[in-house]
Amino acid sequence: MTSHSEDAAGAQRPAPAPAVSIRSALPADVSAVDQLVQPYAERRILLPKEMVGYYEAVQEFLVADAGPAGEPRVVGCGALHVMWNDLAEIRTLAVAPSVRGTGVGRLLVEGLLDRARRLGLSRVFCLTFEVDFFVRQGFREIEGTPVRPEVYAQLLRSHDDGVAEFLDLARVKPNTLGNSRMLIELNGGGAAV
Ligand SMILES: CC(C)(COP(=O)(O)OP(=O)(O)OC[C@H]1O[C@@H](n2cnc3c(N)ncnc32)[C@H](O)[C@@H]1OP(=O)(O)O)[C@@H](O)C(=O)NCCC(=O)NCCS
């Protein structure tokens, strides 16, 4: 297979992006999601998860499927993790190197933001090295942890490492080094922080 094709005049042009559909992840997708995330987790770009963690969180995930009907080929994934009554986080967003730059990441973020809207949430957070990509999706960089002290105190009770990163706790600082904290407000605002 080649990544280029020839037009009628014989000129080389990039192969078109595969037709990709965005759908809810199924338990059967978990091993593909794990394989997609692992190389990014090894480079400390994404937080690693145990397999059991993926199964537990499978209902938070969307996948990008580039396979024909009945033959799934997962080329991207991303999850929306609810943190509070107005707030969620986009996490574990990963696109296969072979299709990066073809719009798959944007489709996944759009799908996750749609989910957030349908859940009645007004703000979505993410922690990332990919600032320019997220700015293009409407996020802006923020400082600190955008919740009231009483919500902060409640979130401290969570055992989730992603929540610890959101709270910027000392024990997860090595994971978040160099990452930017980003936020998008949906529908122009919503519940007060
Ligand atoms: C970040 C990531 C998800 C982007 O996915 P992608 O499918 O390559 O991105 P897309 O093709 O949908 O790009 C959408 C737009 O962002 C731009 N873009 C993508 N990556 C970019 C980057 N690193 N810097 C600047 N712009 C970028 C694209 O050019 C495109 O621009 P357009 O609006 O003019 O069309 C992917 O690179 C990835 O898996 N990275 C590793 C994991 C990671 O960092 N995840 C985020 C943390 S949760």
Q: Is residue 193 part of a domain?
A: no
Q: Is residue 124 part of a domain?
A: yes
The number of the ligand 1 atom at minimal distance from the alpha carbon of 76 is 39
Pocket of ligand 1 (CB under 6 A): 40, 45-46, 90-91, 93-95, 100-106, 126, 128-130, 132-133, 136
Q: Is the pLDDT of residue 88 over 50?
A: yes
Q: Is residue 8 part of a domain?
A: no
Contact between residue 46 and residue 78 where contact means Cβ atoms under 8 Å apart: no
State in Å: Cα 77 to ligand 1 middle. Answer: 13
Domain count, the chain: 1
φ, ψ at 131 (rounded to 5°): -60, -45
Distance of CA 100 to the CA centre of its chain: 14
Under the banding of pLDDT at 50, 70 and 90, the label for residue 176 is confident
Q: What was the pLDDT predicted at 177? A: 86
Q: Is residue 22 part of a domain?
A: yes
Average confidence score pLDDT of the chain = 90
pTM of the model: 0.89
Neighbours of 64 (CB within 10 A): 26
Q: Is the pLDDT of residue 5 over 50?
A: no
Q: What was the pLDDT predicted at 10? A: 47
Q: Is residue 12 part of a domain?
A: no
pLDDT for 130-163, tens place per residue?
A: 999 999 999 999 999 999 999 999 999 999 999 9
3 vs 76 pLDDT, higher one: 76
Q: Is residue 74 part of a domain?
A: yes
99: containing domain: 17-185
Q: Is residue 156 part of a domain?
A: yes
Query: CATH number for the domain including 37?
Result: 3.40.630.30
Q: Is residue 141 part of a domain?
A: yes
State in Å: Cα 139 to ligand 1 middle. Answer: 13
Under the banding of pLDDT at 50, 70 and 90, the label for residue 189 is very low
Given strand 74-82, what is the order of strands in its sheet?
Answer: 21-24, 61-65, 74-82, 87-95, 123-128, 180-185, 140-141
The number of the ligand 1 atom at minimal distance from the alpha carbon of 107 is 12
